[in-house]
């Protein structure tokens, strides 16, 4: 059974960074793409970027270029999403999701990131 | 970026009725279109991938069709647990994008 378990809620100051983890179990970590999707309050989902661990290749939405870093640690089957230069508009629920070729089959439970002074 | 436009924004139906949800892409996404269901406080749940393939465990009352720019999600007979928000999502053209959602509500 595939499970994705994310780290807990974060409260951050504007201008700081946040790093969210996504621990996976079940399936083959290396070959599945892991994507990060966020959802602001009352809004639809927004795809941020993804990684394929076996290649180490990443793909980011242009909107987040320069602020977003997605990494994967095969030894712990954990993916990470780090977003820097946080602003109030980054307040959202952040999800990791996994699937072949960018499909979003299995999802984490979500991590609430609140950016507030 | 590829904009996905969903219609209607809200669909009011009674249990047992047929639901038809539309998703139109601003440019071709081939068949790389998925449908998700989301309930309050939960992560989106994959229903349909690659336009017409039901995900594991999804009931047969859910079906998807279309290719290129026009797609449809059909629920043949709406069950009480189906009232939720539905999103389409494309993974053909970067950046991948979602529609703004259709809320299926009880009439």
Please answer whether residues B39 and B94 qualify as being in contact, where contact means their C-beta atoms are separated by less than 8 angstroms: no
The 10s digit of each residue's pLDDT in A76-112 is 999 999 999 999 999 999 999 999 888 999 999 999 9
Q: Are strands B45-49 and A111-115 parallel, antiparallel or unpaired?
A: unpaired
The predicted model gives A52-70 an average pLDDT of 92
Which of B44, B55, B94 has its CB closest to that of A45?
A: B44
For residue A90, what are the contacts with CB-CB under 8 A and spacing of at least 6? A83, A113, A115
CA-based nearest residue to A3, from A108, A75, A95:
A108
pLDDT, chain A, mean: 94
pLDDT > 70: percent of chain A: 100
pLDDT of res. B14? 97
Does B89 contact A101 at a Cβ distance shorter than 8 Å?
Answer: no
How close does chain B come to A43, measured CA to CA in Å?
8
Please tell me the predicted confidence (pLDDT) of residue B36: 98
Alpha-carbon distance of A61 to B96, in angstroms, equals 8
- B-facing residues of A in 89-108 (CB < 8 A) are 95, 97, 99, 101-105, 107-108
Cβ pair A107:B87 closer than 8 A: no
The number of C-beta contacts closer than 8 angstroms across A and B is: 51
Reported as a single tens digit per residue, the pLDDT across B49-76 is 999 999 999 999 999 999 999 999 999 9
DSSP label at A26?
S
Cβ contact B45–A107 (<8 Å) = yes
d(CA A103, CA B89): 9
**Radius of gyration over alpha carbons of chain B, in Å?**
13
The pLDDT score that the predictor gives to residue A56 is: 85
* A59 at interface of B, judged by CB pairs closer than 8 A: yes
* Residues of A in Cβ contact (< 8 Å) with B45: 107
Q: Are A98 and A106 in contact (CB under 8 A)?
A: yes
Rounded to the nearest angstrom, the minimum Cα separation between B95 and chain A is 5
In chain B, whose CA is at the least distance from the CA of A44? B100
The residues near A66 (Cβ < 8 Å, ≥ 6 apart) are none
Q: Mutate one of A2, A45, A59 to test the B interface: name it (highest B CB count within 10 A).
A: A45
Task: Give the position of tokens 């991948």.
Answer: B96
Q: What is the pLDDT of residue B69?
A: 98
Per-residue pLDDT of chain B (107 residues; tens, 9 = 90+): 999 999 999 999 999 999 999 999 999 999 999 999 999 999 999 999 999 999 999 999 999 999 999 999 999 999 999 999 999 999 999 899 999 999 999 99
CA atoms within 13 A on the CB side of A100: 5
User: How many CB atoms lie under 10 A from the CB of residue B40?
Assistant: 6
High-pLDDT (> 90) share of chain A, %: 83
Taking only residues 37 to 56 of chain A, the set having a beta carbon closer than 8 angstroms to any beta carbon of chain B reads: 37, 44-47
On the question of a cis peptide bond just before residue B16, with omega within 30 degrees of 0, the verdict is no
Angle at B69 between CA B19 and CA B36, to 5 degrees: 45
Q: Cα-flanking dihedrals φ and ψ of residue B86, to 5°? A: -115, 135
């Amino acid at each position: 059974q595939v499970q994705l378990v994310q780290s807990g809620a974060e409260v951050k100051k504007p201008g700081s960074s946040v790093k969210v983890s996504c621990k996976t179990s079940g399936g083959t970590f290396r070959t599945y793409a892991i994507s990060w999707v966020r959802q602001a309050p009352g809004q639809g989902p927004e795809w941020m970027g993804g990684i394929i661990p076996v290649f180490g290749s990443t793909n980011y939405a242009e909107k987040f270029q320069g602020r977003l870093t997605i990494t994967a640690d095969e030894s712990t089957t954990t993916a990470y999403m780090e977003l820097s230069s946080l602003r109030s508009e980054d307040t959202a629920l952040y999800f990791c999701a996994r699937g072949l070729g960018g499909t979003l089959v299995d999802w984490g439970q979500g991590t609430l990131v609140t950016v507030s002074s | 970026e590829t904009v996905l436009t969903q219609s209607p924004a809200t669909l009011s139906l009674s249990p047992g009725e047929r639901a038809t949800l539309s998703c139109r892409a601003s440019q071709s996404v081939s068949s790389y279109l998925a449908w998700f269901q989301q309930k309050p406080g939960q992560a989106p749940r994959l229903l349909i991938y690659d336009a017409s393939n039901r995900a594991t465990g999804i009931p047969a009352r859910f079906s998807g069709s279309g290719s290129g720019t026009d797609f449809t999600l059909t629920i043949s007979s709406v069950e009480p647990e189906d009232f939720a928000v539905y999103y389409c999502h494309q993974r053909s053209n970067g950046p991948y994008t979602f529609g703004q959602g259709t809320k299926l509500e009880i009439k």
